[in-house]
Amino acid sequence: MCRKITVFARDSQKRFEATLFVDGGSHGTLLKESFSQKAGFPIQSRDKVAVRPILVDAPIDLQSNMVEFGVQTKHGAMYLFGRTLPKLIPKTAIVPVEEKMSLASEYELIHEEPDILIGIDYYWDLEIQLQRRLSNGLCLADSILGPFISGRGSIPESNRGRPVHISANSLTIEEEEVELNAK
């Protein structure tokens, strides 16, 4: 699941937009090193870590910083810890979703490399709730960070890796406005 979020360093007025990837299969929260430095997240510790990327047999030893960062949620600030790495995952598809969306509107599917990956360590803290399973296999879910469109489904992509427009009608059976349940 991907979405844009607002992040910040503790005791800082500066806010940054980050592309978030939520992966309950990852063992921990990770941040792209360049993004963490740009945002000025305070370093808690420096350690050597062994990382085993997908399709790689042997782990790779890397220097990593443990940083603290804040995330803007529906309930206010939430502070997390994560490890920095030079790169997290390749570009992934994101459908920007608002609190209230018209399923008759068009939404742009974009491809970006995530700045932050939240793993199983904070996965359940996000309070992810399925709102609706769509006819094409995708799911509309809500969380304390806002809504997500995710899952394995068919979104028309004629040019993979380039922005394309999708009709939200293809995401559901009927045309209506959906307002996600806010806690």
- Residue 17 lies inside a defined structural domain of this protein: yes
Instruction: Report pTM.
Output: 0.75
Residue at which a domain ends, from 85, 101, 136: 85
- Cross-strand bridge partners of residue 7: 16, 71
Do 142 and 65 reside in the same domain of the chain?
Answer: no
Count of structural domains within the chain: 2
Residues 151 and 138 sit within 8 Å (Cβ to Cβ): yes
- Residue 118 lies inside a defined structural domain of this protein: no
Do 165 and 96 reside in the same domain of the chain?
Answer: yes
Do 156 and 136 reside in the same domain of the chain?
Answer: yes
Do 99 and 67 reside in the same domain of the chain?
Answer: no
- Residue 155 lies inside a defined structural domain of this protein: yes
C-alpha closest to that of 143 among 93, 75, 77: 75
Structural domain boundaries, residue 44: 2-85
Do 46 and 103 reside in the same domain of the chain?
Answer: no
- Residue 101 lies inside a defined structural domain of this protein: yes
- Residue 119 lies inside a defined structural domain of this protein: no
| The pLDDT of residue 96 | 60
Do 96 and 42 reside in the same domain of the chain?
Answer: no
- Residue 160 lies inside a defined structural domain of this protein: yes
- Residue 121 lies inside a defined structural domain of this protein: no
How far apart, in whole angstroms, are the C-alpha atoms of residue 103 and residue 177? 6
- Residue 146 lies inside a defined structural domain of this protein: yes
Local mean pLDDT, 10-residue blocks, the chain (183 residues): 90 93 87 96 92 75 93 96 85 60 56 88 90 71 83 51 37 37 40
Residue at which a domain ends, from 85, 105, 139: 85
Do 43 and 96 reside in the same domain of the chain?
Answer: no
Do 65 and 101 reside in the same domain of the chain?
Answer: no
Do 140 and 80 reside in the same domain of the chain?
Answer: no
Q: What is the 3 state secondary structure string of 26-61?
A: CCCCEEEHHHHHHHCCCEEEEEEEEECCCCCCCCEE
| The pLDDT of residue 158 | 46
Residues 6+ apart with CB under 8 A from 160: none
Do 55 and 10 reside in the same domain of the chain?
Answer: yes
